[in-house]
């Protein structure tokens, strides 16, 4: 299957030096080298169809995020000097998501990467991979967090939903609290996540199996919290259950929040997935045969990240 990639070098302008973990300064894990590693490895392995994003109106972000939050983020970074870093007191859920002088611009570009991919899907492409950075699935309606500022997957899914039902499959190690929060009361977008048990890992307060959606969205939110140490075999078994739920939902489009921090040697993960497993994950997703938009989320082992992405893409494309 043919695949195209959407990429912008502007992701590098968001470059915090540190985050705060347990009260201490730690090197920032969500570094620009993540996406560079994926891009260079894909190209080195024969995947050459890379395209720059279009610029979309702000209305697509405002359809998902609170206007006051977006305005705050845009205005606040203007007061930050290039050499400074700020952990905002407003609209933030943790100490992992700092602002630097060009964070808003990078986050806006990341949304454009996602929306360009979604537009390609609406124009008839079967498989698009949007290399988004900063990632997005922790960003809620009016809060940044978990390295995320705007929810790329949610914005793209909402855009696609105007043309038909959408399923979101989140395979990041951490629960996508933001995406769940945004679609929790909607029946036209199914959110399914496989992730570490929130008793053990971030975001700690969402991602439990009992969270099923509410109102019209009751039954359209499905969480599969998994134990630390989950293996390839165990993960694939649950993935097949998740994909069966998607098949039952019968969506027109699939959005995959692709986090690679499930890898066995990810520095902030905790599962035991091997690199070949990511190809099998891609194969299982390919079997459901839906127009698919892949949105890059986490994955922090920079040395192996490119190899993981290549394995995943080979599974998705059958190459």
The CA dihedral of 167, 274, 136, 179, to the nearest 10 degrees, is: 40
Where do the H-state alpha helices sit in 101-231? 103-122, 152-160, 177-183
Residues 17-40: b if buried by 16+ CB within 10 A, e if exposed: eebeeeeeeeebbbbbebbbbbbe
Nearest-angstrom CA–CA distance, 308 and 45: 12
What tokens appear for 182 in the block? Answer: 């945004």
Which sequence positions are flagged as catalytic?
A: 138
| E-assigned strand segments in 63-134 | 127-130
Q: What share of the chain is helix, strand, coil (3-state, %, to 5)?
A: 40, 20, 45
Report the C-alpha gap between 191 and 207 in whole angstroms: 11
């Amino acid at each position: 299957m043919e695949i195209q990639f959407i990429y912008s070098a502007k992701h590098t302008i968001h470059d915090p030096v540190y985050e705060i973990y347990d009260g201490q300064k730690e090197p920032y894990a969500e570094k620009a080298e993540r996406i560079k590693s994926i891009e260079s490895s894909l190209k080195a392995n024969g995947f050459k169809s890379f395209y720059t994003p279009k610029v979309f109106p702000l209305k697509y972000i405002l359809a998902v995020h609170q206007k006051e939050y977006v305005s705050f983020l845009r205005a606040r970074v203007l007061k930050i000097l290039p050499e400074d870093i700020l952990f905002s007191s407003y609209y933030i859920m943790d100490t992992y998501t700092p602002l630097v002088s060009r964070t808003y611009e990078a986050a806006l570009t990341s949304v454009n990467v996602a929306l360009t991919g979604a537009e390609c899907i609406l124009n008839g492409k079967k498989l698009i991979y949007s290399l988004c950075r900063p990632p997005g699935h922790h960003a809620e309606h009016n809060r940044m967090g978990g390295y995320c500022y705007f929810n790329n997957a949610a914005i793209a899914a909402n855009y696609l939903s105007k043309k038909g039902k959408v399923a979101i499959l989140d395979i990041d190690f951490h629960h996508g609290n933001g995406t769940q929060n945004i679609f929790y009361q909607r029946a036209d977008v199914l959110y399914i996540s496989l992730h570490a048990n929130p008793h053990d890992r971030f975001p700690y307060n969402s991602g439990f199996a009992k969270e099923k959606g509410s109102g019209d969205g009751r039954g359209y939110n499905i969480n599969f919290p998994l134990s630390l140490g989950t293996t390839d075999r165990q993960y694939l078994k649950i993935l097949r259950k998740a994909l069966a739920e998607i098949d039952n939902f019968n969506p027109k489009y699939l959005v995959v929040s692709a986090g690679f921090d499930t890898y066995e040697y990810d520095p902030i993960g905790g599962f035991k997935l091997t690199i070949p497993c990511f190809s099998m994950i891609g194969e299982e997703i390919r079997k459901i045969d839906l127009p698919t938009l892949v949105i890059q989320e986490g994955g922090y082992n920079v040395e192996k990240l490119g190899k993981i992405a290549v394995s995943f893409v080979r599974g998705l494309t059958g190459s």
